[in-house]
Structure 1
């Protein structure tokens, strides 16, 4: 087969595989892969510091300044820069003029269905996840997770909602949509793709202990399999956002005695 004059020949599969493999490592190194490495080091530090995991804690969404508007600035900058890898992944998937948003089903063409499926997935994952967290606390293999430690301000709840959306976009676009598409192009088998996505998701939650690691691996299997079947990441973004909004915003609304009983405080 010949190529038209002035047209570069198509790269061989080995060359394409090398390029895509390097690309995947770069994207993960800038985002969730980096978080996974830090989480692995963190859990090693926790296990060797002499204090049982059950007596340690991890704080999410902490304030960064006692000055409210400076704190707000830091929070918004953190959320914005965390979304850069999402933009990078979508840009890379949009090669040859293809729409990455449509390719991975991040569009708004089915809002009602995506919302319904997302809420259903959130319930499917969230209720057993809470039970698993409580079991992990009881077994001493999970740290105390404080879902929100922001200072009270008029912008606290909106920032927590934005943080939930940012987490959802980053994790579902990169760990599910982008990674699945690239590994398919690298001719990975389906079980290996699902395992890679799920273990990646679990890895960057290791700093919370082994209960959240297991829970997020199970969540990763469910989400990756849904994406394999439906090729839509939007319901996963909805589900993840709902889960995090409930965790972040609802944390302060749960009575203290309930949090104590569940090991949440």
Structure 2
């Protein structure tokens, strides 16, 4: 394979880091699947390797004709997600860079470098050698949430499964960021935190751990009481 054939020549212009340093997305799609992270009617997310380097591919699964039309006018969810990731990174928020976005056989694909495992799976499975390491991860999530709360952004899909624990430095990276919206409403911010708290419960975080996180996020006593007493489930999945 020549160097020109081995690079993605039609990646979406607004994808961050979209350049010729990554392999061709079409070629990566054909690589053997190492692990499937998600599979439902909306999307499929899986891990591949190329020359020993891991990549994550996300494919949108809805009707190809609708995808093609959305892509032509620049409003496909994949394009929106790529643009939003670029915007968040420029503003200092830790979105995982999307290195390429491409329409293949009528379905949009996004490419990212593998960064680490989902916070949800790591916390639920207890994959930490010590309480100190678990506490470190929860503090990192709390700091990130505090930054989001004060940034003027609302992450409408703020689930632990959309937070990746970096293999390099244990920092937190955000994925699936297409639902980020500019909104300073207190109600919207609190709803974002409820979604996170809901998935934290399902990841077996104790009430004390969730309370410490809420305090670290900067919530006041009234907001913490609202969070604790509101029984509404505000998210689906994990």
**Fold conserved (TM > 0.5)?**
no
Q: Which has the higher helix share?
A: 1
